[in-house]
């Protein structure tokens, strides 16, 4: 629309103006090719987000889809609806000299006399300054922490408290009531509810020695949420014989989806012997707790508990005509119960279950004299075909991929998830010696982040290769391809520095912002370079400094309009940094706004400087080959 408006005003200033429809058609065709290639480029840079899977795919794929669809729609609208609307609403009076508004005139004068003059006169100095800023941004990246997802600002907290294995439901409930009363004494805590064990068909398989507290907060507090959470941690540590870890409901569910464990990081040990796994797990727990930020590491609750073992003597069982399978079925019915009928009570239906009374189930002497059926129809005492004795055994045996496992769950108390997990990996590698047949795996948010990063980087490399061929077909020279791509690191400078100032953390959401801002910045570069070539091919301009100044000034307004409109639209997301529900889009907005500032200010200096200093031959080649960029 800006190009149409400028051409209409130029046409109105000449002695014999052309029809407005013809001018609008020419002005639209003038930018049609560059808009097409810029739109395709933005769509391509968002394609890597569609390759994400799991939680990150569910969160960020809608952003990619919305962007791709809206870019396609805007391209169609810009070439169909916008020219029609321009023919109705843009009608400069003929015979008058139309000039820019005083704001635009002042902006162009200041820009031409300062920024543009300096960049064209000192191109090497401009590149040196830009390279220095790029080095500063690179250092800032290494100093920032890393997370899978930004921390969610949930209005509630979740506390997982574990007691000694084998603790009865009654004792666990009493401890839970005590913890509830202590938590309610904190002024900022409004309500506290707890769940002991799990429901009959619950998703989380936990023993009755595990408790989950749901803590809701009130809004009447002068302290920060971090200070309140620290007091909650200290309060829970005063309960003897327990270990507690603090999280949030959503983070807890995400941890379960990623690793099957309600924690951000799960260190899983695999091996054949349970006692050895427990020893290794205890050692890993101690190593983790020695690292600042991993103090809440907790080992899987595994201990030896009393058991009544009934071991079949296969030789004697065969002599009496008893098969181990049938014996196990009989004992399962006698000890665990078997449904033999149903009881109807109004609208309710109950199973009628038959099993031995408790005093029989817990008495080896009585079980030894219990008669069982044989294949011949006779009955013999259980002691004739099986050995019955008291023993001890593990309270739980968990397997994953057919291997026995032991898990150390960790909820880091620091925002830099990458640093603490990598420190843990280094320390475990140097201090823990795994016996043959044992292995260790790190799962949870750290693993998901690494997998998502690999997917994004691999897909971005493939898309970058496709973009190179796309740009080459547009410019017919690799020099302009490199010049367009040079805006990518320049745009990342502002995004990195602004992220360092505000969040000081890089997550998958931050990477999404980097992807978005590179597409916007590359689009502006394409529009600027194609206008230089258009002036040389169609408007009689030679490759001179005056031509570069004219082309830059004529593209100054649309480039600034693009950056300012996008930046203004994202300001509400930046201001809503502390509001729940904005955790994912706030880092994206921060990166885009910072990137728009650097890509606009530095791009309007670097691109004209490089073009004027080094691109005379590529420009002449592009025009000679009648590249689409010069149409």
Which pLDDT belongs to residue 481? 92
Place of tokens 């990063």: 453
User: What radius of gyration do the chain's Cα atoms show?
Assistant: 35
Query: What would the pLDDT profile of 585-631 be if each residue is shown by its tens digit?
Result: 899 999 999 999 998 988 899 999 999 999 999 999 999 988 887 87
Query: What would the pLDDT profile of 164-180 be if each residue is shown by its tens digit?
Result: 877 888 899 999 999 99
Which pLDDT belongs to residue 486? 87
- d(Cα 231, Cα 428) in Å, to the nearest integer? 30
Query: What would the pLDDT profile of 354-366 be if each residue is shown by its tens digit?
Result: 998 988 888 888 8
In a domain, 54, yes or no: no
- Are 482 and 337 found together in one domain? no
In a domain, 169, yes or no: yes
Residue 335 binned pLDDT confidence (cut-offs 50, 70, 90): confident
In a domain, 83, yes or no: no
Q: Which two tokens stand for residue 621?
A: 């080649």
Which pLDDT belongs to residue 205? 64
Percent of the chain with pLDDT over 90: 32
- d(Cα 175, Cα 164) in Å, to the nearest integer? 12
pLDDT at 100 over 90: no
Domain boundary among 394, 421, 436: 394
- Are 548 and 621 found together in one domain? yes
Of 609 and 219, the one with more pLDDT: 609
**Domain interval for residue 403:** 260-300+395-459
Question: For the whole model, what pTM was predicted?
Answer: 0.77
Q: 603 pairs with which residues across the strands? A: none
Contact status, residue 543 vs residue 621, Cβ threshold 8 Å: no
Region 318-341: what's the mean pLDDT? 86
Of 31 and 609, the one with more pLDDT: 609
Residue 375 binned pLDDT confidence (cut-offs 50, 70, 90): confident
Q: Which domain CATH number covers 554?
A: 1.20.1640.10
- Are 180 and 203 found together in one domain? yes
Residue 253 binned pLDDT confidence (cut-offs 50, 70, 90): confident
Query: What would the pLDDT profile of 484-525 be if each residue is shown by its tens digit?
Result: 988 889 888 999 999 999 888 888 888 888 888 888 888 888
Which pLDDT belongs to residue 225? 83
In a domain, 531, yes or no: yes
pLDDT at 99 over 80: no
Q: Which two tokens stand for residue 191?
A: 């309500």
In a domain, 417, yes or no: yes
In a domain, 79, yes or no: no
Region 400-420: what's the mean pLDDT? 86
Q: DSSP states of 243-282 as a string?
A: EEEEE-HHHHHHHHHHHSSSSSEEEEEE-S-HHHHHHHHH
**Structural domains in the chain (count):** 4
Q: 296 pairs with which residues across the strands? A: none
Cβ neighbours of residue 123 closer than 8 Å, sequence gap 6 or more:
609, 610, 612, 613, 614
Q: How many CB atoms lie within 10 A of CB 127?
A: 17
Region 469-489: what's the mean pLDDT? 90
| CA-to-CA separations, 366 to 194, 224, 383, in angstroms, rounded | 40, 62, 10
pLDDT at 213 over 70: yes
Which pLDDT belongs to residue 543? 93
- Are 512 and 593 found together in one domain? yes
Region 66-91: what's the mean pLDDT? 91
In a domain, 30, yes or no: no
Q: Please, what is the average pLDDT of the chain?
A: 87
In a domain, 470, yes or no: no
Of 383 and 203, the one with more pLDDT: 383
């Amino acid at each position: 629309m800006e190009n149409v408006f400028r051409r209409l005003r130029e046409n109105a200033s000449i002695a014999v103006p052309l029809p407005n429809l013809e001018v609008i058609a020419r002005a639209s065709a003038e930018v049609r090719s560059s808009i097409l290639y810029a739109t395709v480029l933005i769509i391509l840079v968002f394609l890597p987000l569609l390759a994400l899977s799991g939680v990150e795919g569910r969160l960020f794929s809608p952003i990619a889809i919305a962007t791709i669809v809206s870019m396609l729609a805007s391209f169609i609208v810009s070439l169909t609806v916008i020219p029609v609307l321009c023919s109705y609403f843009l009608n400069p009076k003929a015979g008058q000299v139309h000039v820019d508004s005083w704001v635009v005139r002042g902006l162009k004068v200041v820009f031409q006399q300062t920024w543009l003059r300096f960049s064209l006169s000192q191109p090497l100095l401009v590149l040196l300054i830009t390279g220095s800023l790029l080095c500063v941004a690179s250092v800032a990246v290494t100093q920032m922490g890393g997370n899978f997802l930004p921390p969610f600002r949930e209005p509630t907290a979740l506390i997982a408290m574990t007691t000694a294995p084998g603790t009865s439901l009654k004792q666990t409930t009493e401890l839970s009531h005590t913890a509830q009363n202590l938590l309610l004494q904190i002024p900022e805590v409004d309500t506290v509810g707890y769940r002991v064990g799990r429901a009959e068909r619950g998703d989380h398989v936990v023993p009755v020695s595990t408790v989950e507290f749901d803590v809701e907060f009130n809004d009447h507090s002068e302290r920060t949420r971090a200070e309140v959470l620290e007091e909650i941690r200290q309060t829970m540590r005063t309960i003897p014989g327990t270990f507690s870890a603090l999280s949030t409901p959503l983070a807890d569910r995400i941890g379960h989806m990623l690793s099957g464990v309600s924690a951000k990081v799960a260190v899983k040990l695999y091996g054949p012997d349970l006692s050895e796994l427990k020893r290794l797990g205890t050692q890993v727990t101690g190593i983790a707790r020695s690292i600042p930020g991993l103090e809440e590491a907790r080992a899987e609750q595994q201990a030896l508990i009393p058991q009544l073992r009934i071991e079949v003597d296969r030789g004697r069982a065969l002599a009496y005509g008893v098969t181990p399978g049938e014996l196990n079925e009989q004992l399962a019915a006698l000890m665990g119960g078997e449904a033999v009928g149903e009881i109807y009570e109004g609208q309710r239906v109950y199973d009628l279950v038959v099993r031995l009374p408790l005093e029989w189930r817990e008495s080896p002497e009585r079980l030894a004299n219990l008669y069982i059926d044989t294949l011949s129809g006779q009955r013999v005492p259980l002691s004739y075909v099986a050995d019955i004795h008291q023993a001890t055994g593990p309270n739980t045996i968990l397997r994953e991929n057919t291997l026995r496992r032991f898990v150390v769950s960790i909820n880091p108390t620091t925002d830099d998830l990458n640093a603490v997990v990598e420190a843990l990996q280094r320390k475990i590698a140097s201090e823990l010696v795994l016996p043959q047949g044992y292995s260790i795996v790190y799962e949870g948010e750290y693993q998901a982040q690494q997998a998502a990063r690999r997917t994004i980087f691999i897909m971005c490399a493939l898309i970058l290769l496709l973009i190179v061929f796309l740009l080459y077909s547009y410019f017919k020279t690799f020099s302009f391809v490199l010049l367009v791509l040079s805006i990518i690191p320049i745009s990342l400078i502002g995004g990195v520095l602004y992220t360092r100032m505000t969040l000081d953390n890089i997550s998958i959401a931050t990477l999404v912002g980097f992807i978005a801002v590179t597409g916007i910045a590359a689009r502006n570069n394409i529009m600027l370079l194609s206008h230089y070539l258009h002036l040389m091919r169609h408007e009689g301009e030679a490759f001179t400094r005056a031509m570069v100044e004219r082309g830059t000034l004529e593209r100054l307004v649309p480039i600034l309009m693009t950056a300012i409109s996008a930046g203004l639209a994202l300001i509400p997301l930046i201001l809503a940094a502390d509001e729940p529900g904005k955790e994912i889009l706030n880092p994206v907005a921060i990166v885009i706004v910072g990137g728009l500032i650097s890509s606009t200010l530095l791009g309007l200096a670097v691109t004209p400087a490089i073009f004027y200093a080094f691109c005379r031959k590529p420009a002449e080649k592009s025009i000679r080959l009648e590249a689409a960029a010069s149409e």
